[in-house]
Chains A and B, each alone.
Chain A
Amino acid sequence: MSRRYLGVGIFIIVGLVLFALGIFLVGSRHEAFSRHVLLYTEFTDLDGIAKGSKVQVSGMDAGQVTRIEVPRSPSGHFRVQMKVDEQLHGLVRTDSVVTVDTEGVVGNTFLTIHSGSLNAAIAQAGSVLQSKPPVTMSDLLSHGLGIMNDADATIKQVGGKLNVALDGINGAVGNVNDLLLGLKEGRGPAGMILRDEKMADQVRETMSNVQSTTSNLNQASGRVNVLVANIQQRDLPQKLDDTMTRIRSASTRADETIQKVQQSLAQALGPDANGVTAGQNVSEALANANVATGNMAEDTEALKHNFFFKGFFNHRGYYTLASLSPEEYRHTKLFGSTQSPRVWLQADTLFRHGPHGPEELTPNGKHAIDAAVASFGNPIFTHPIVIEGYSDAATPADALSWSYARAQLVRNYVDARYPFTTKNIGVMPLSATPPPGLGHDGWSGICIVVAEKK
């Protein structure tokens, strides 16, 4: 009998302890046992804030919404009562601003009281703080999509105009050809001057066309910048993935267009040396266009970094080599993987000491690189390429700097020789230590990696 009492006693006591533990853990979360001050704020749109919603002060959990007064007329405001931990009261100043934020991708909405300025007085208990109206996601997205569509349209326009321009250039080149033929065939200089004026006009007109499209493009990229700033400020985009792909595809399209233009230009300007002047101008204009699209690419790049889930992008293979330390790089799944094809090239064959000190590529080395590029086949056009530099120099600083210099040398060579997109080629100085598990404990030279994600 006494044993049964003991058993039941233990059962009840442990149960009560668990209950108390639960209450304590829940309670401590909601600061039920600590001292509070009541503060107020007003919103026209609550964006899902409800009684019990969390309140943070400068990112720290500080309490919850305890009451919401509903306005009587549409012109009124929702008055929100917030219970804030006494400890954080000192951060809340009279000029503190309250915003509505969202936790993560799928999280609840909550209020953030931003800490005020040093000079302002501490907000008294019961005082009403300023608020900033929430920007709803859908607004933001439709705004963003609008900008994207504009950018798209502009880029199409650029494409179209460039084509017109190219027709002009073609015409101009044709004229030059005619002129040269005329000269060769012994037609008089008077005819030449007549023709030359026409041609000059045509070329000038073409140039101004190209320039105006470029400024259009720049404008578009400026608007993208605004969008990005918006998104960063809101710190929450739910469907950003969507937006991202749109931005990317838009910039890819721009790239494509420009590539086409370059090709047609190469065709147009290739056969005749006299077209060079006109060709250079066009090239410059196109370089401007490149800068514009480059800006766009950079903007998306910036998004990747400032956005709240870095892992979200890493998971999809968005890496920026510049932001990776050699140590991180060695342990990145994508690059450290045995699945990514690599070619190891020894320093002896690749480099020789140049006349002014630093190393330069040997002809044999260039052949070796050509062979390596050829051996990768198609994937090298569609995947990021990383050129890892290695050096077994005695001091760590030398090893790092030499390995960087070597990687740069090879990159410049590859970049100049093959039509790879510049941003697809990265360099990574790794001193003498390759990533683990690839069968090389140390290396001096170069390793070319095609990051094939499988």
Chain B
Amino acid sequence: MRWLSKSVEFVGKVGLFGLRVVVDSLRPPFEFAQCFRQLAEVGNKSLALVVVSGFALGAVMTLHTRNTLVTFGATSMIPAVQAVSFFVEIGPLVAGLLLAGRVGSGIGAVLANMRASEQIDAIESLSIDSFKYLVVPRVLACVIALPFLTLFMDFAGLLGGFLSEELSSHIAPILYLNRAFEYLQWSNFIAPTLKTAVFGFIIGSISSYFGYTTDKGAQGVGEAATNSVVLSSLLIIVADVLLIKCIFFLFPETAV
């Protein structure tokens, strides 16, 4: 029972924290410089990771699907399978998980360290709202950067798939591109890309929660980093299920 009430309490705390992020991000003054700094941290520095893994994943995907599709004589479907799977699910989800790993742990550790070394108190002592100064920009950076990173992932995956396919069947780039987008519709390009903003919000606010609220000193730093990654990855996957249902609901033609 205690465990249960603690869990519920935890959900409540995280929920209020998230709500505070939303409210504070809409209330002036805005910390633009901080947002920009965090955007560079979250976006630019994750770019290489996302592009390289997208490329590799794309190549691997094609190698796998190729075999199966060749059996059905449906080799012309390879680009479409590649594009649909990347744009609809693999791109958003993997980009989200990669960001949770790279940035989530970073945010958790940095904020926990700032809490432990009284830097957050120091900020407060300058009459700066530490929540708006530290948490909101980080969450916003994740929300803004992740859809972009997802696009990078999608196109890197497509490029990887194309090169892998090019090596085995010498397909022309324009034909590949044409076939790739044959089955894509507005709703399964835009909606899955934008849903990653929700993933970004999850990563940013969960990691910030663990970092910002730790009270265990130096020991809390590692703990916050680990918890950030674990919980934000988990929530991303769970949220994905709900978001896909929402997308199906809003755009019924994507659900076949």
Contacts and interface: CB of A to CB of B under 8 A. Distances in A.
B155 interface: yes
Given A22-B87, A106-B72, A30 B47 contact: no
Interface of B: 36-37, 39-40, 43-44, 47, 72-74, 76-77, 87, 145, 147-149, 151-152, 154-155, 177, 180-182, 184-186, 189-190, 193, 252-253, 256
A4 interface: yes
A12 B74 CA distance: 37
Contacts of B72: 105-106
A244 to B, nearest CB: 14
25 contacts: A8-B43, A8-B44, A11-B43, A12-B148, A14-B152, A18-B154, A19-B151, A22-B151, A22-B155, A23-B189, A25-B184, A26-B185, A26-B186, A27-B186, A28-B181, A29-B181, A29-B184, A50-B256, A105-B72, A105-B73, A106-B72, A106-B74, A106-B77, A309-B73, A311-B73
Given A4-B37, A22-B87, 6 more contacts: A4-B40, A8-B43, A11-B44, A23-B190, A104-B77, A309-B73
Nearest to B87: A22
A429 B44 CA distance: 65
Given A106-B74, A312-B73, A4 B36 contact: yes
Contacts of A116: none
Nearest to B77: A104
Given A25-B181, A51-B252, A18 B186 contact: no
Contacts, number: 82
A85 to B, nearest CB: 16
Contacts of A50: 253, 256
Contact of B253 (A11, A52, A311): A52
A440 B40 CA distance: 67
A358 interface: no
A18 B73 contact: no
Nearest to B255: A50
B185 to A, nearest CB: 6
Given A19-B151, A104-B74, A7 B189 contact: no
A189 interface: no
A30 B185 contact: yes
Nearest to A27: B186
Interface residues of A, number: 32
Contact of A25 (B40, B177, B256): B177
A51 B253 contact: yes
Given A105-B74, A311-B73, A18 B155 contact: yes
A5 B43 CA distance: 12
Nearest to B141: A8
Contact of B40 (A7, A27, A29, A106): A7
Interface in A1-60: 4-5, 7-8, 11-12, 14-16, 18-19, 21-23, 25-30, 32, 50-52
B39 A8 contact: yes
Given A25-B177, A25-B181, A8 B189 contact: no
Nearest to A65: B253
A105 B76 CA distance: 12
B87 to A, nearest CB: 7
A417 interface: no
A184 interface: no
A29 B181 CA distance: 7
A361 to B, nearest CB: 43
A353 interface: no
Nearest to B74: A104
Nearest to A309: B73
B36 A26 contact: no
Given A11-B44, A15-B148, A18-B151, A26 B189 contact: yes
A4 B35 CA distance: 12
A72 interface: no
Contacts of B252: 51
Residue of A7, A21, A22, A108 with most partner-chain B CB within 10 A: A22
A7 B152 CA distance: 15
Contacts of B145: 11
Residue of A8, A32, A106 with most partner-chain B CB within 10 A: A8
A8 to B, nearest CB: 5
Contacts of B154: 18, 22
A44 B241 CA distance: 36
Contacts of A356: none
A315 interface: yes
A16 B36 CA distance: 17
A11 B190 contact: no
A22 B152 CA distance: 11
B47 A11 contact: yes
B74 A7 contact: no
Interface string A307-341: 00101100100000000000000000000000000
Nearest to A313: B73
